[in-house]
Structure 1
Amino acid sequence: MKIAITGATGLVGKRLVERLYPTHQLLILTRNEAKAQKTFPASAYPKLEIVTYLPTETGPWQGAISGCDGVINLAGAPIAEQRWTASYKQEILRSRQVGTDKLVEAIAKAQTKPKVLINASAIGYYGTSETATYIETSAMGSDFLAEVCQKWETAARQAEAHGTRTVILRFGIVLAKEGGALGKMLLAFNTFMGGPLGTGKQWVSWIHRDDLVALITTALAEDSWQGVYNATAPNPVTMGQLAQALGAVIKRPSWLPVPGFVLELLLSDGAKVVLEGQKVLPQRTEAAGFQFKFTNVGAALKDLLHP
């Protein structure tokens, strides 16, 4: 298959490219060509095609979509890396909604249209709760992230009007030692200041990065997959349980919590991603036959940190 990928240099995208290459012909759409070339050097990826694009603007890059069999859209401004100023909140939304709009516009223009679009979303769609359990058919929440996810998904679904099968994967907290929530926790634990972020009571609906990549490739290959699927392991844990499991794996204390107000000072509204949570189950994902390799958070952490 010829597959176009956005967000390929990110935490998930990099591993996805490693998994798909060279079995498939890959086309990387990137805002930063130099970063993409450094991440995927020609010596290791001689057949990889890199196209520079402005994701929120119509442009010549859209012509590259014609002839692709599939499109995987992972692009979007980072959620929990900086303070949510009014302008950055607009960037979070615009990068996803308009960026996906322009990708679907490219699909519409394509002379030979992709058969499938795999589009990222997030479990932020459901809002937050310490008591509720969410599945794919649960109602959307009422906060900013829920609004972002709803508009992001609506933009992706427009591809269906052009005959392109559309799969939306609502990502949970992706576990990988190179970054994300686990990367931040490791920094604290490795200085013997590790513990839960916030109260420790909030739910963490997590997924091992390799399971997420397997989920993406399954959605790409299986023609029966269409619509929304939760990309979360079937056994969510509380933040306290995650911290305890991490401490056990790396043999570090896990009792010292990072106060919520510290994260709020650093990230403002962005702290919601780690201070508030939701218990999400992959009901439709498992019903479709997908089998998670990592269902226990301790085993997942051990594989990531002591492979």
Structure 2
Amino acid sequence: MYSYICFITPNADDHKVFVLTRSATKAASVFPASTYPGVTIAEQGDWEACVRGSSAVVNLAGMPISTRWSPEVKQEIKRSRVNVTSKVVKYINHAGNADAQPSVFVSATAIGYYGTSEIHSFDESSPSGNDYLAEVCREWEATARQVNQQDVRLVLLRIGVVLGKDGGALAKMIPLFMMFAGGPLGTGRQWFSWIHIDDLVNLIYESLINPSYKGVINGTAPNPVRLSELCQQLGRVVGRPSWLPVPEFALKAVLGEGASVVLEGQKVLPVKAKDLGFSYRYPYVEDALKAIAQDIPTRLTTRK
């Protein structure tokens, strides 16, 4: 999942997409013109102009959190989310009259809002946690809420762990399983609230076009699993055992405080998405992993 901000403008037959980024080179490598002829890449100096006349804004900006958390990194994790969101909100609010102002703002946040627990489950009505990521999410959401909600429909997507073949958690796990070194992290009892990338994209699209989608919506699949089950299912679909657990002390030695991202979890349920009638293509993790594994070369996923 790439952290870009997309502004969608109505066109004659389709949508015109502006990808706003702080690095045009990186964005161009993700959205090559030959593959995405309808995408325009815009750097910061052009952001405000892109907002005017756009019908919708999707904000996915934020530095990855699966790294060692030094004080500087923690500051950047928050800054990359809050500052960019603040800038986008300002541009939306100053876009002018209703014809020039986007009618919907879909802003990403994360299930880290709820804190962690092995025994409790969380839905959109649950209170926030009291750890660092919960603090980041609260400030992130509070910034997004500063958008002019009288004229702009706001959707806050609290996104879980995104499963896809490119990047994210599986990109780090699959190579270990291929080398027969896969297994749960820590105890394996931590909850893993996930969503397949296709379902997340569809959820974002529904949030854009359906006026019933507003406020906080959990961007997770309806069937979260323990991490040990995820690893067992992953091993099964790639034809490798899940037998080599990574001890907690080893992860803390490498990631420091950042190890909490993988050692602790939360059981998050998408109550609002289900109430809205959202249809999941991959409600179960086994089906999601099978679909992703189909894109992995057969020689890597079949035992000799």
Q: TM-score, normalised by structure 1?
A: 0.89
Where do 5+ consecutive residues of structure 2 fail to align? Answer: 296-304
Please say if 1:40 is aligned against 2:31: yes
Structure 1 residue 121 displacement after superposition: 0.5
Shift of the 60–304 alpha-carbon distance from structure 1 to 2, 3 Å rule, reads: closer
Q: Which residue is 2:43 aligned to?
A: 52
Q: Which residue is 2:161 aligned to?
A: 173
Please say if 1:295 is aligned against 2:283: yes
* SS of structure 1 residue aligned to 2:145: helix
Please say if 1:208 is aligned against 2:196: yes
Structure 1 residue 12 displacement after superposition: 7.3
Matched to 2:65, the amino acid is I
Of residues 36-45 and 224-233 in structure 1, the stretch that sits farther from structure 2 once superposed is 36-45
1:181 and 1:42 map into 2 onto residues whose CA distance is 28
Q: Which residue is 1:85 aligned to?
A: 70
Where do 5+ consecutive residues of structure 1 fail to align? Answer: 1-9, 54-58
* SS of structure 1 residue aligned to 2:147: helix
Of residues 114-123 and 258-267 in structure 1, the stretch that sits farther from structure 2 once superposed is 258-267
* SS of structure 1 residue aligned to 2:232: helix
Q: Give the RMSD, CA atoms, in angstroms.
A: 1.8
Structure 1 residue 176 displacement after superposition: 1.2
Q: Which residue is 2:80 aligned to?
A: 95
* SS of structure 1 residue aligned to 2:246: coil
Structure 1 residue 46 displacement after superposition: 2.5
Please say if 1:26 is aligned against 2:17: yes
* SS of structure 1 residue aligned to 2:195: strand
Shift of the 60–214 alpha-carbon distance from structure 1 to 2, 3 Å rule, reads: closer
Contact 1:12 1:213 in 2 (8 A): no
Q: Which residue is 2:252 aligned to?
A: 264
Structure 1 residue 30 displacement after superposition: 0.8
Contact 1:172 1:231 in 2 (8 A): yes
Structure 1 residue 13 displacement after superposition: 6.0
* SS of structure 1 residue aligned to 2:53: coil
Structure 1 residue 161 displacement after superposition: 4.0
The CA deviation string for residues 41-92 of structure 1, in whole angstroms up to 9 with x for no partner, is 2222223211101xxxxx5532221111000000001111x21111111111
1:179 and 1:43 map into 2 onto residues whose CA distance is 22
Matched to 2:40, the amino acid is E
> Please, which of 144, 158, 164 is the counterpart of residue 152 of structure 2?
164
Q: Give aligned-pair identity as a percent.
A: 50
Contact 1:167 1:219 in 2 (8 A): yes
* Number of residue pairs aligned between Structure 1 and Structure 2: 287
Please say if 1:110 is aligned against 2:95: yes
2:236 and 2:4 map into 1 onto residues whose CA distance is 29
Structure 1 residue 162 displacement after superposition: 5.7
Please say if 1:140 is aligned against 2:125: no
Matched to 2:76, the amino acid is E
Please say if 1:196 is aligned against 2:184: yes
Q: TM-score, normalised by structure 2?
A: 0.90
Contact 1:11 1:178 in 2 (8 A): no
Contact 1:118 1:169 in 2 (8 A): yes
Q: Which residue is 1:69 aligned to?
A: 55
Contact 1:29 1:51 in 2 (8 A): yes
Matched to 1:163, the amino acid is D
Q: Which residue is 1:3 aligned to?
A: none
1:162 and 1:187 map into 2 onto residues whose CA distance is 48
Structure 1 residue 183 displacement after superposition: 1.5
Runs of 4+ in 1 over 4 A off after TM superposition: none
Matched to 1:140, the amino acid is S
Matched to 2:29, the amino acid is K
1:221 and 1:43 map into 2 onto residues whose CA distance is 27
Contact 1:12 1:209 in 2 (8 A): no
Of residues 286-295 and 180-189 in structure 1, the stretch that sits farther from structure 2 once superposed is 180-189
Shift of the 244–60 alpha-carbon distance from structure 1 to 2, 3 Å rule, reads: closer
Structure 1 residue 172 displacement after superposition: 0.6
Q: Which residue is 2:294 aligned to?
A: 306
Shift of the 285–168 alpha-carbon distance from structure 1 to 2, 3 Å rule, reads: same
The CA deviation string for residues 119-159 of structure 1, in whole angstroms up to 9 with x for no partner, is 00100000000000100000000000000001111111111
